[in-house]
Chain A
Amino acid sequence: MSSQRIYEQPLYPYQRNRDQDRKSPNRHPVVIVGAGPVGLTAAIDLALQGIHCVVVDDNDSVSWGSRAICFAKRSLEIMERLGCGERLLQKGVTWNLGKVLFDQRLIYQFNLLPEAHHKYPAFINIQQYWVECYLVERCQELSEWIELRGRNQVQRLEQFNDHVLLRLKTPDGEYTLEADWVIACDGANSTVRDQLKQDFVGRIFEDNFLIADVVMDAEFPTERRFWFNPPFNRGQSALLHKQPDNVWRIDLQLGWEIDKEQEKQPERVIPRLQAMLGDEINFELEWVSIYTFRCCRMEKFRHGRILFAGDSAHQVSPFGARGANSGMQDVDNLCWKLKLVLDQQAPESLLDSYDNERIQAAEENIQHSSRSTDFITPKSEISRIFRDAVLNLAEHQPFARPLVNSGRLSQPCSYLNSPINTDDVDDDLPSGVCPGSPLRDAPTGDGWLCEQAGGSFQLLCFDQADKEIHSETRKVEHLSLNTKKDSSGELAQRYLGKQKEGYYLIRPDQHIAARWTKYDPAMIHQALQRASGQTASVQWRN
């Protein structure tokens, strides 16, 4: 590829800003540290809610190399709300089929979305640099609200009672600014986390993986292929995955005792890839890296006025695509709460529910990803014996297939025990959309539920009997849905079950806060108070 790649161009080059010439530091409502997928998502979410924010990054371009490539349905639904969903869907490679091979045999395959009638597929594959590129462009459309400051590196950070002081280094020297709130999205090696002297504890996996993105015209189908112990990488695992622009992701497990620098050299990498792809395939290396990984998290994601999101708060193994996806869900959870707090419509303690809910999500992700890793890279003789027994049985015995774990792919967390949920009064409505769950998309007859829901508190009224109820409880937007307009019947199936009518209070992040089979303004008001952290007697359940 001769032309300059997108990640080699400065997309938000350094420009001197007004704050640098001020005598006393300027105060901003929100400063976001890190312009990766998580920080940029946060900026857009806040901007759409009318909050000014400054995003600082030590770089000025999108991330180098593909990095995260699998974006899950839930992330795409968040992107839909932020105005980038369809663009990602168009560019991305949609896949549903996963194949698991053991040695040379296909032992199992799975379809990710057996359930139809969702706007977005279970996953798309797209290079992280394209995601960041679209997000940067969206930020630039919202430049009235978002200031993207390239090559502004956090040097120091100090927290006070009512603000945070940040010292930034630029090509023109250093300057200081103040923020009411800071969102730290500065990745696994977070400077902000170091400044706060916070631990990042967990489990280190003693293994190395070669990650290579190659450009090739190959007729391989659009599916995820995962090998255990293939002939081209004996005793280890391998993964092949398609991305847009004829770029393919290849992941090869290398083991622990290797020379990382040596293994990264093209003269070592190319023969490995050729052995995997076959001699007749021509390819070009786009990006090579060797990684080891940890599964760990911070003990708390909220530290006063500093909120950690994405890899700075938690890190998982790549199996299951739970990194970037969970980071986007972090800020999806955080931004509406921050908006309410900034507008003084909710107490600061509402932000503790961010901590509570997203720690639950991080724990889920860490558990899934640790289990996948234990299956993929057995660390003892007996664990390898069991693993191989599962794989051998799975080829002919359906019972063993659920035990095969090549990555349990990212699913959104249901905040079932969240203190800001209102519990059901009865169990008449479908369990798949109980309080705490994310919205389940469905056709509405004239579009999709995920297109209409979210962005503010809403009451979804399914087949409401009384057409006049709109006049009450104006604090929350009412969205009237007629399930008869949906010919698939899924909208009724997913939200009403056997009931004739149903009312769902959903949060701005599309999670369900409460629901009823009867319209009752007093109950709605109470649930709304609770969901915005205004119930005094909230007991934190961990």
Chain B
Amino acid sequence: MEKLNLNPNLYSADDFYSELLAIHESRSKEESDTINARLILILANHIGDHDVLKQALQLASETTS
């Protein structure tokens, strides 16, 4: 089973983070929700591996960690 990579893997983390915020800039809550949903679907398809996605879903839903 492919393991979800939880080690740092972003080449330039700060750039990505600011780009992530930039696509939400001056958007309404509704627009932002839509963008986030699209982003999740696009990334999930890119990952493809069902085992990896299940681990990601599990981790994301553990809201306390």
Task: Please list the residues of chain A having a beta carbon within 8 angstroms of any beta carbon in chain B.
Answer: 382, 385-386, 388-390, 392-393, 397, 399-400, 403
Chain A residue at minimal CB-CB distance from B37: A389
Contacts of A393 in B (CB 8 A): 38, 41-42
B45 at interface, CB cutoff 8 A? yes
B34 at interface, CB cutoff 8 A? yes
B34 touches A403 (CB 8 A): no
B33 at interface, CB cutoff 8 A? yes
Q: How far is the CA of A393 from the CA of B46 in the complex (A)?
A: 14
B34 touches A385 (CB 8 A): yes
Contacts of A388 in B (CB 8 A): 34, 37
Supply 18 A–B pairs (Cβ within 8 Å), ascending by A.
A382-B33, A385-B33, A386-B37, A386-B40, A388-B34, A388-B37, A389-B34, A389-B38, A389-B41, A392-B38, A393-B38, A393-B41, A393-B42, A397-B42, A399-B42, A399-B45, A400-B41, A403-B41
Interface size of B in residues (CB-CB distance below 8 Å) = 8
B37 touches A385 (CB 8 A): yes
Tell me the minimal C-beta distance from A109 to chain B in angstroms: 20
Q: How far is the CA of A397 from the CA of B38 in the complex (A)?
A: 11
Q: How far is the CA of A388 from the CA of B37 in the complex (A)?
A: 9
Contacts of B37 in A (CB 8 A): 385-386, 388-389
- Minimum-distance CB pairs A-B, first 8: A389-B37, A399-B45, A389-B38, A385-B37, A386-B37, A385-B33, A389-B34, A389-B41
Chain A residue at minimal CB-CB distance from B30: A385
Residue of B34, B37, B42 with most chain A CB atoms under a 10 A cut-off: B37
Main secondary structure of the interface of A (DSSP, over half): helix
Contacts of B34 in A (CB 8 A): 385, 388-389
Q: How far is the CA of A462 from the CA of B36 in the complex (A)?
A: 55
Chain B 25-57 per-residue mask, 1 if CB under 8 angstroms from chain A, else 0:
000000001100110111001000000000000
Contacts of B45 in A (CB 8 A): 399-400
Chain B residue at minimal CB-CB distance from A390: B41
Contacts of A392 in B (CB 8 A): 38
Chain B residue at minimal CB-CB distance from A386: B37
Chain B 9-37 per-residue mask, 1 if CB under 8 angstroms from chain A, else 0:
00000000000000000000000011001
Q: How far is the CA of A188 from the CA of B26 in the complex (A)?
A: 53
Tell me the minimal C-beta distance from A382 to chain B in angstroms: 8
Chain B residue at minimal CB-CB distance from A388: B34
Tell me the minimal C-beta distance from B38 to chain A in angstroms: 5
Q: How far is the CA of A397 from the CA of B43 in the complex (A)?
A: 13
Tell me the minimal C-beta distance from A379 to chain B in angstroms: 16
Q: How far is the CA of A397 from the CA of B42 in the complex (A)?
A: 10
Q: How far is the CA of A532 from the CA of B45 in the complex (A)?
A: 45
Chain A residue at minimal CB-CB distance from B39: A389
Contacts of B40 in A (CB 8 A): 386
Contacts of A382 in B (CB 8 A): 33
Contacts of A385 in B (CB 8 A): 33-34, 37
Q: How far is the CA of A483 from the CA of B62 in the complex (A)?
A: 57
Chain B residue at minimal CB-CB distance from A392: B38
Q: How far is the CA of A390 from the CA of B41 in the complex (A)?
A: 8
Contacts of A397 in B (CB 8 A): 42
Q: How far is the CA of A390 from the CA of B38 in the complex (A)?
A: 7
Chain A residue at minimal CB-CB distance from B46: A399
Q: How far is the CA of A463 from the CA of B3 in the complex (A)?
A: 47
Q: How far is the CA of A403 from the CA of B53 in the complex (A)?
A: 15
Residue of A382, A385, A389, A399 with most chain B CB atoms under a 10 A cut-off: A389
Contacts of A389 in B (CB 8 A): 34, 37-38, 41
Q: How far is the CA of A392 from the CA of B41 in the complex (A)?
A: 12
Q: How far is the CA of A390 from the CA of B39 in the complex (A)?
A: 11
Q: How far is the CA of A218 from the CA of B34 in the complex (A)?
A: 38
Q: How far is the CA of A513 from the CA of B55 in the complex (A)?
A: 38
Q: How far is the CA of A382 from the CA of B40 in the complex (A)?
A: 13
Tell me the minimal C-beta distance from B50 to chain A in angstroms: 13
Tell me the minimal C-beta distance from B33 to chain A in angstroms: 5
Contacts of A390 in B (CB 8 A): 41
> Knowing that A385-B33, A397-B42, A399-B45 are A-B contacts, what are 4 other residue pairs whose CB atoms are under 8 Å apart, sorted by A's residue number?
A386-B41, A393-B38, A393-B42, A399-B42
Tell me the minimal C-beta distance from B61 to chain A in angstroms: 13
Chain A residue at minimal CB-CB distance from B33: A385
Q: How far is the CA of A389 from the CA of B38 in the complex (A)?
A: 6
Chain B residue at minimal CB-CB distance from A398: B45
Contacts of A403 in B (CB 8 A): 41
Contacts of B41 in A (CB 8 A): 386, 389-390, 393, 400, 403
Contacts of B38 in A (CB 8 A): 389, 392-393
Contacts of B33 in A (CB 8 A): 382, 385
Q: How far is the CA of A389 from the CA of B33 in the complex (A)?
A: 10
Tell me the minimal C-beta distance from A388 to chain B in angstroms: 7
Contacts of A399 in B (CB 8 A): 42, 45
Tell me the minimal C-beta distance from B57 to chain A in angstroms: 13
Tell me the minimal C-beta distance from A532 to chain B in angstroms: 38
Q: How far is the CA of A403 from the CA of B42 in the complex (A)?
A: 12
Tell me the minimal C-beta distance from A395 to chain B in angstroms: 12
Q: How far is the CA of A390 from the CA of B34 in the complex (A)?
A: 10
Q: How far is the CA of A452 from the CA of B26 in the complex (A)?
A: 68
Q: How far is the CA of A386 from the CA of B33 in the complex (A)?
A: 9
Q: How far is the CA of A219 from the CA of B42 in the complex (A)?
A: 39
Tell me the minimal C-beta distance from A384 to chain B in angstroms: 10
Tell me the minimal C-beta distance from A102 to chain B in angstroms: 14
Chain B residue at minimal CB-CB distance from A402: B45
Q: How far is the CA of A385 from the CA of B37 in the complex (A)?
A: 7
